[in-house]
A = this chain, B = another copy of it.
Amino acid sequence: MSKKNVLVAQSGGPTVAINASLAGVIQGVLDSEKYDTIYGSIYGILGILENNLMNLSEKVSESKNFLDTLKVSPAMYLGSCRYKLPDYEDDDATYTFIFNQLKKYNIGAFFYIGGNDSMDTVLKLSHYGEQIGSDVRIIGIPKTIDNDLCETDHTPGFGSAAKYVAATILEVAHDTFIYSVPSVTILEIMGRDAGWLTAASALARNDYNTAPHLIYLPEVAFDRQQFVSDIKAQLAKRNNVIVAVSEGIRDKAGNYISASTATNDQFGHSQLSGTGKCLEYLVKEEINVKCRSIEINVLQRAAAHCSSLTDLDESVMLGRQAVAEAEKGNTKCMMTLNRISNTPYKCEIGFAGIDHIANEAKSVPREWINEAGNDITPALLEYLAPLIIGEPDIQYKNGLPVYLPVEHLDTGK
């Protein structure tokens, strides 16, 4: 039987581990006796629709450090997209086109590395493929800094983002503690629906650092007056209070805190200010104290120079194992990480049917948040701790980290 080729793509928001999974898939194909050439689809599923593919086998053979550098490079080497496939009952033509493309390139397996929305694409393509009797294996490989995918203990990209958030809180604590003047510092952390990443701020606590002193997650309804009381209670105990807050906190009625501070810009248009900025205004209004808010912004998903080696290693393994599962005939599934033990930390690779993953989200369990709703429990800290361990070997040139060139994405018009 002649060898088939492989297609891989990346989708959704960036993480620093999504290229590590790509490196794993490529390595899996290089090691495979069943698969031949590996193609990458540029800009996620759009590359297939627009016939924009890249021969990754050639790229690897051209550059000897390709896979090592790819593993530590942030964001998506192949580019990304935010494209939702139509339902195939409504639009059969898109699906016909995609499966014709797979046939044209002699594709035996398609791997889609992404988050919730990308698993929706895996689900739809799997179902359609099944319906038309296609033998193309379709497997999802998870990634998201939000850590909110079901069926997997945690998601690739989360551990590195958690490490960055914790390191940032620690460094901001050093920055804040230097003044004897009382102050409140609020850090706004990503995670619109799940508080996993905000919870990771607690990893910054150590023998001498007590920050963050308060933690607010979207899983608990946010109460402004309680928040003000919490801050006052902390200020009675120490000069410099540091708060970690999720961008997604909502009040009892379900309204985002950020949305409640609509302000008018210079053109008279309504603009939403961020959650951290909103709480900064609240503190300044209710308590006579110096207050600063910091939005960590995209750096928490892009700072590859501060990645977790545990995260990158697991991401590579998921990619390699995905190829092995496809070889065995598995399809219509997403690769998963299954934690065996915490001490010592041990995690195995598995897979789960895609039906129960796409379009569902995993929140922080209420029992992992303290009763007052302003901190996390030791059990959650124990879950988080192993995920940020280890530092990858990043090369530096001219004082800056060396990442894989992406000039094919910074295109002229």
Task: Please report A residues at the B interface, Cβ cutoff 8 Å.
Answer: 10, 14, 43, 46, 73-76, 79-82, 163, 166-168, 170-175, 177-180, 203-204, 206-211, 236-240, 260-261, 263-267, 269, 271, 273, 278, 281, 285, 292, 294-295, 297-299, 301-306, 308, 385, 388-391, 396, 398-401, 403, 405-407, 409-413
B75 touches A175 (CB 8 A): yes
Of A261, A265, A389, A406, which is in contact with the most chain B CB atoms at under 10 Å from its CB? A265
Q: Copy number in this complex?
A: 2
For residue A139, give the distance in angstroms from its CB to the closest CB of chain B: 22
Indicate if the CB atoms of A299 and B302 lie closer than 8 Å.
no
Given contacts A171-B305, A238-B412, 4 further A-B contacts (CB under 8 A): A261-B266, A263-B263, A271-B281, A385-B399
Bound complex: CA A411 to CA B203 (Å): 21
Within 8 Å by CB of A302, from B172, B265, B412, lies B172
The residue from B177, B204, B399 contacting A388, defined by CB atoms under 8 A apart: B399
A373 → B minimal CB distance (Å): 22
User: Which of A163, A180, A260, A398 has the most chain B CB atoms inside 10 A of its CB?
Assistant: A180
B410 touches A175 (CB 8 A): no
Chain B residues positioned under 8 Å from A261 (CB to CB):
265-266
Q: List 8 A-B contacts (CB under 8 A).
A: A46-B180, A80-B178, A166-B400, A170-B400, A172-B298, A174-B406, A175-B301, A203-B398
Chain B minimum-CB-distance residue to A390: B399
Asked if B306 and A410 make an inter-chain contact with CB atoms under 8 angstroms apart, the answer reads no
Residue of B whose beta carbon sits closest to that of A304: B171
Q: Contacts A79-B180, A177-B79, A177-B409 hold; do A401 and B238 have CB atoms under 8 A apart?
A: no
Closest chain B residue to A235 by CB distance? B413
Cross-chain contact of A305 among B10, B294, B306, B385 (Cβ < 8 A)? B306
A363 to chain B, nearest CB (A): 24
B281, A267: Cβ atoms under 8 Å? yes
Name the CB-closest residue of B to A46: B180
Cα A174 to Cα B299 in complex, Å, equals: 11
Q: Does B14 contact A170, Cβ atoms closer than 8 Å? A: no
- Asked whether A263 and B267 contact (CB < 8 A) given A179-B43, A238-B412, A302-B171, the answer is no
Please state if B281 and A208 are interface contacts (CB–CB under 8 Å). Answer: no
Q: How far is the CB of A247 from chain B (nearest CB, A)?
A: 14
- In the bound complex, what is the Cα–Cα distance between A141 and B262 (angstroms)? 46
Query: Given the complex of chains A and B, what is the CA–CA distance between A17 and B287 in angstroms?
Result: 34
Tell me, rounded to whole Å, the shortest Cβ–Cβ distance linking A352 to chain B.
27
Residues of chain B with a CB closer than 8 A to A172's CB: 298-299, 302
Cross-chain contact of A179 among B80, B166, B178 (Cβ < 8 A): B80
